[in-house]
């Protein structure tokens, strides 16, 4: 079953086999969870909502709450107006969230439900209490990916809520991208060392990484508050990390409230983190603290110490485009050779940006946007690599071809601690190096002849 992939390559124009992505509503649901007191709402069938919740729960190992319009056959024929207005009334009366963030599904998109009109009708009928917020975004699953849905929800949140009063504050907006809570905490830690007051949107720390104290809280203390989202229009600048997940939201805020925006990649690895720190320095007009310089120096030292194990090693990378772009840059910094680079999210920018990163690296990589893991496996069968970097869906390739797998990105369904340790920043880069070197050395120890089974590597 695991080795059903054949080495013979066949051109496919429509069929995707084991795509390196999932559908838009999952990303929209995750983004909504990064708003304080928010109930994500899936405007579609119960099955869609159940799948999206379970997929997020399996990655974050935390309960994910969301509601649904519970479409039936009748809703599919006559539309979801009645379902959504009733749902809003029930949500506020039973759960009492501060915000309801509606995202659509395939079914409601095909029907063509006018969500803003339905929200207005519900509010006019008193089904949305005074002071409560309802926002929405369109997330048809047959377009884009979960990264697209994440971007759409963050952009819509800003469109609905961000305001400009005319008085610029001393706060910096950071749209961090599709990152785990541990990554959000690391970005906040770095900003704290830099002494910069910030607003992060979305902020899933304190929501999907909470401790166990014996009490269940439907709306944890984390998440970006509505007040902070509104005040993003008065911040002195915005830094958006990740072309696919964050840049659209920063552009919306810049156009809507005239907040200057800096467009970066995810702060993963040496170069990615350097660019993030430097952008904060420039926008906030500050000097880099010694503590940051020391963190960077420790990473440089580690890269130097372990260069002999990583130099020239070939790598296949698959996953979300922003993660893959940042990881490709990091591998080039490590003198490794990205060989196969795949994302399931469509967008020609991906291939152009990867080409720019690899231009002077000496790597002759095969790169594909809107690709799938089946084809990447075929490439590996014809010409293997030393390492695979990607989410859990790559484990079948790794097992069949006996190649070490570094689990990275979303989703990671077969491990439990990944969500607690960052991959961003200089600290995250050290962790990634540790995992890569250990995986390569473990394979060497397992397979080498006895005379080469050394105590010291």
Which residues participate in catalysis according to the annotation?
106, 110
Range 236-266 burial, b when 16+ CB lie within 10 A, else e: bbbbbbbbbbbbbbbbbbbeebebebbbbbb
Cα torsion 434, 436, 441, 446: sign: positive
DSSP labels, 186-243: HHHHHHHHHT-EEEESS--TTTSS----S---SS-S-SB-HHHHHHGGGSSEEEEE-T
> Where are the alpha helices (H) located in 362-455, listed in sequence order?
373-382, 395-401, 425-447
Planar angle of CA 33, 36, 39, nearest 5 degrees: 50
Chain centroid to CA 267: 12
- Using CA of residue 144, residue 146, residue 149, residue 154, what is the dihedral sign? negative
Q: Give the strand order in the sheet containing 337-342.
A: 366-368, 337-342, 314-318, 387-390, 405-407
Tokens of 174: 């950071």
Nearest-5° Cα angle at 352, 350 to 354? 70
Give me 162's structure tokens.
């961000």
112 dihedral zone (left: phi>0; alpha: psi -120 to 50; beta): left
Measured in Å, how far apart are the chain's first and last C-alpha atoms?
36
Q: How far, in whole angstroms, is CA 40 from its chain's centroid?
A: 17
* Whole-angstrom distance, CA of residue 153 vs CA of residue 149: 6
Six token digits for residue 392: 């859990």
SS3 409: coil
Q: Which residues contact 215 (CB under 8 A, 6 or more apart)?
A: none
Please say whether the beta carbons of 387 and 315 come within 8 A.
yes
Distance CA 23, CA 412 (A): 16
User: Rounded to an integer, what distance in angstroms lies between the CA atom of residue 154 and that of residue 430?
Assistant: 30
Q: Give the C-alpha separation, 215 to 223, whole Å.
A: 19
């Amino acid at each position: 079953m695991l080795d059903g992939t054949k080495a013979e390559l066949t051109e496919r124009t429509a069929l995707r086999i084991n795509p390196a992505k999932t559908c838009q509503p999952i990303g929209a649901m995750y983004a909504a969870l990064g708003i304080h007191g928010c109930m994500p709402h899936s405007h579609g069938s119960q099955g869609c909502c159940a799948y999206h919740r379970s997929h997020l729960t399996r990655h974050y190992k935390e309960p994910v709450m969301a509601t649904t319009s519970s479409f039936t056959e009748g809703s599919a024929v006559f539309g979801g107006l009645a379902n959504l207005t009733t749902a809003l009334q029930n949500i506020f009366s039973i759960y009492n969230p501060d915000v309801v963030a509606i995202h659509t599904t395939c079914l409601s998109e095909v029907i063509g439900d006018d969500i803003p009109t339905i929200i207005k009708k519900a509010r006019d009928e008193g089904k949305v209490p005074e002071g409560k917020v309802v926002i929405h975004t369109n997330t048809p699953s047959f377009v884009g990916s979960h990264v697209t849905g994440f971007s759409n929800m963050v952009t819509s949140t800003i469109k609905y809520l961000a305001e400009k009063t005319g008085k610029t504050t001393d706060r910096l907006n950071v749209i961090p991208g599709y990152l785990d809570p541990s990554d959000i905490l690391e970005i906040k830690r770095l900003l704290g060392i830099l002494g910069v007051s910030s607003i992060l949107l979305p902020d899933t720390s304190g929501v999907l990484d909470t401790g166990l104290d014996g009490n269940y809280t439907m709306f944890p203390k984390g998440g970006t508050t509505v007040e902070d989202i509104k005040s993003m229009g008065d911040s002195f600048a915005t830094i958006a990390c990740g072309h696919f997940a964050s840049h659209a939201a920063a552009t919306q805020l810049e156009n809507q409230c005239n907040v200057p925006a800096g467009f970066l990649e995810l702060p993963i690895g040496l170069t990615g983190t350097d660019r993030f720190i430097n952008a904060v320095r420039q926008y906030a007009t500050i000097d880099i603290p010694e503590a940051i310089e020391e963190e960077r120096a420790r990473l440089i030292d580690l890269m130097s110490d372990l260069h002999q194990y990583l130099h020239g090693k070939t790598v296949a990378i698959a996953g979300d485009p922003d993660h893959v772009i940042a990881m490709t840059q990091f591998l080039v910094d490590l003198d490794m050779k990205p060989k196969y680079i795949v994302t399931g999210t469509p967008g020609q920018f991906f291939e152009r940006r990867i080409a720019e990163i690899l231009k002077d690296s000496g790597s002759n990589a095969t790169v594909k946007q809107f690709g799938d893991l089946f084809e990447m496996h075929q490439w590996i069968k014809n010409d293997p690599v030393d390492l695979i970097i990607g989410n859990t869906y790559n484990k079948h390739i790794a097992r069949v071809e006996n190649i070490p797998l570094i689990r990275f990105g979303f989703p990671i369904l077969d491990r439990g601690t990944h969500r607690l340790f960052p991959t961003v920043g200089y600290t995250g880069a050290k962790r990634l190096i540790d995992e890569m070197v250990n995986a390569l050395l473990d394979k060497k120890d397992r397979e080498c002849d006895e005379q080469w089974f050394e105590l010291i590597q």
